[in-house]
A and B are shown apart, each in its own frame.
Chain A
């Protein structure tokens, strides 16, 4: 989907907003907040993905960068999970 957004010349998260529902918009807002999306550098290596799985909606953003040796390395992974109503707050953060 990021490749399609790239072809369309659009921001990957903004591009997805057009095609997703209200609950997904809140997830995208949270993902933008946690990744500090609007302040990211133009050439920062961010990739995102959003899916629905086992009745939860999840969004994930991965940041990669090229080291001085030219090799790609994974810097950070940020996941935002909308699993609805939960029981044990410590358990759910650990399993995700």
Chain B
């Protein structure tokens, strides 16, 4: 989901109308796009918080930081085309 928002799908508007009208043009990530993912949950007795959503907003900044490390170029707009950096 976070991968899609960072590098895949966007809704563009022309003349007040969405350009992407269906999933054929609103590109979602496919299983072949997904990298290896490891999740580690920490054990402690703090008050319970969210589990499903908190991981999502972090992906785009972490990815853009990694791309900055490898290319020296900062990303300033989402989504961006991963194949063009």
Contact = CB atoms under 8 A, between A and B. Distances in A.
Secondary structure type dominating chain B contacts: mixed
Give the interface size bracket for A toward B: 35 or more
Nearest to A60: B58
Say what secondary structure dominates the interface of chain A.
strand
Interface in B37-57: 37-42, 44-55, 57
Interface in A49-87: 49-66, 71-86
A25 interface: no
B39 A47 contact: no
B59 A81 contact: no
Interface residues of B, number: 39
Contacts of A10: none
A6 B68 contact: yes
Given A49-B61, A60-B59, A79 B48 contact: no
A47 B64 contact: yes
Given A53-B50, A83-B49, A86-B48, A78 B40 contact: yes
Contacts of A77: 35-38, 59, 62
Nearest first, the 9 closest Cβ-Cβ pairs linking A and B are A54-B50, A47-B65, A47-B66, A56-B49, A55-B49, A84-B46, A2-B65, A53-B54, A45-B70
Interface of A: 1-3, 6, 12, 23, 26-27, 30, 34, 43-66, 71-86, 89, 92-93, 95-96
